[in-house]
Amino acid sequence: MEVVTIETQPLGDRSYLVHDGSVGLVIDPQRDIDRVERALGDAGVTLTHVAETHVHNDYVSGGLALARRHGATYLVSAADDVSFDRHGVLDGEQITAGGMTVGVIATPGHTDNHVAYLVSHGGRQAVFSGGSLLYGSVGRTDLVDPARTRELTHAQYRSARCLVEVSSADATVHPTHGFGSFCSSGPASGQGGSTVGEQQQVNHALTDDDEEHFVEQLIAGLSAYPSYYAHMGALNRAGGGPPDLSVPEPVDPAELRRRITEGQSVVDLRNRVAFADGHLAGTLNFEHGPMFTTFLGWTLPWGQPFTLVGSREQVEAAIRDLSRIGIDSPDAALGEDVAALGDGQPVTSYPRVGWPEVARARRDGTLDVLLDVRRDEEYDTDHLPGAVHVPLQHLRERLNEVPAGQVWVHCGSGYRAAIAASVLQRADRDVVHIDAMYADAPQAGLEPVSASTR
């Protein structure tokens, strides 16, 4: 039995192909199933089953489309209310896939009807735990209904313990979440692999014998999650179709300028250095990279049209990434010479600095407003004295909370600050982008104030 991991690093998730050399089972596939089909081809196996551990909250599944393309049996919890035909699995059910035995284990907590799959073959076991047992922790429990978080956290604790009880200590563990996904909670680790035995030693759901203490600690550690999560469940219950990953016919310069002047969102995919140096006035900078999908989906209003600007390669990659969260077929203007793309739309810029320049401006009294756009929990841990705090995802609707004057904006790495700087500049604010790691601020003499001392 071999397990092939299919990583979706931008969303912090993993999908899996497990096979016996001739027959394959795929667990929790992302919507862009061409990656899964390449893995099937590389392994030279026939896909007979596709399995979902739960109705996903952080991405649109490709499971239904994959199962239909291959005539495979689609395994989804029998208790989930979905609008498509599937094999509804029940706790304790045993399914045969080639030479493999697939056991279904009810593991409620991350969602009400969450299941895990224990796959056995040739004396080996592999646990596909979805959003239940992660490396070091468990999946978050507040996505179904905030009022039921405590109830589901108790269920999650018991599910994790049930899962290890029915598995051998040397069974490998393969979670879907926990690699940067906001679906994880607590001290989840993005390590490469683990076993049930190892998790029994390090996972706080298994080492903390006080259930109530575990519940209190997990709930206290829950943080904000992307707003687009609210739309994923409905899309998955309806059944996600295959995405259109083609690059559209480019928007012409006159039309692009019209969209900018009318206030539509035009997203520049170039890196934040190039954007700061020169961009079409009124555009927003979402540098394409590992954090692109999460923060675009979290920052821009859901369902409103927007236009991508970048090279063909950047646009193509962005279309794939966005399809995973149900954003289909955005328009695009192709090219990196922004002046040529805008039909006379002014090209503008703003300063991009590091912490030494911030420290100098503070000493000189020329730093008007220091804006921290990190999440609440980051700011509450510690922050720079005098910093105004508005999380990036709320900045568009809370611009009136940013004091008058030149705004020097920072985050944890410079990535979110670049988005924020472009949002502020589009609102006619004078901005300075602090493109630096927050952890390096003390080296310039800027000492954070901790939550205990502020």
- Give pTM, 2 decimals: 0.93
8: helix, strand or coil = strand
Q: Which CATH class is domain 2-238?
A: alpha beta
Mean pLDDT of 359-381: 96
Mean pLDDT of 50-61: 97
* pLDDT-based confidence at residue 391 (cuts at 50, 70, 90): very high
State the pLDDT at residue 190.
74
State the pLDDT at residue 191.
83
Q: Do domains 253-343 and 352-450 have the same CATH topology?
A: yes
State the pLDDT at residue 452.
53
Q: Which CATH class is domain 352-450?
A: alpha beta
Q: Is 243 left (phi over 0), alpha (psi -120 to 50) or beta?
A: beta
Q: What percent of the chain has pLDDT over 70?
A: 99
- Every domain of the chain and the residues it spans: 2-238, 253-343, 352-450
* pLDDT-based confidence at residue 16 (cuts at 50, 70, 90): very high
State the pLDDT at residue 183.
85
Helix 415-426 to helix 292-299 angle, to the nearest 10 degrees?
30
Mean pLDDT of 177-202: 87
* pLDDT-based confidence at residue 188 (cuts at 50, 70, 90): confident
Summary mean pLDDT of the chain:
96
Fold type of domain 253-343: Oxidized Rhodanese; domain 1 (3.40.250)
Q: Tell me the per-residue pLDDT of 270-328, one tens digit each, with 9 for 90 and over.
A: 999 999 999 999 999 999 999 999 999 999 999 999 999 999 999 999 999 999 999 99
* pLDDT-based confidence at residue 186 (cuts at 50, 70, 90): confident
* pLDDT-based confidence at residue 181 (cuts at 50, 70, 90): confident
Is the pLDDT assigned to residue 453 strictly greater than 80?
A: no
State the pLDDT at residue 454.
43
Q: Where are the beta strands (DSSP E) in 260-323?
A: 265-268, 279-280, 284-285, 306-310
Q: Tell me the per-residue pLDDT of 199-252, one tens digit each, with 9 for 90 and over.
A: 999 999 999 999 999 999 999 999 999 999 999 999 999 998 899 999 999 999
Q: Are 355 and 444 in contact (CB under 8 A)?
A: yes
CA distance 28 to 102: 15
Q: Considering only residues 336 and 172, tell me which one the structure prediction assigns the higher pLDDT.
A: 172
Q: Tell me the per-residue pLDDT of 65-109, one tens digit each, with 9 for 90 and over.
A: 999 999 999 999 999 999 999 999 999 999 999 999 999 999 999
Q: Which residues contact 249 (CB under 8 A, 6 or more apart)?
A: none
CA distance 339 to 345: 7
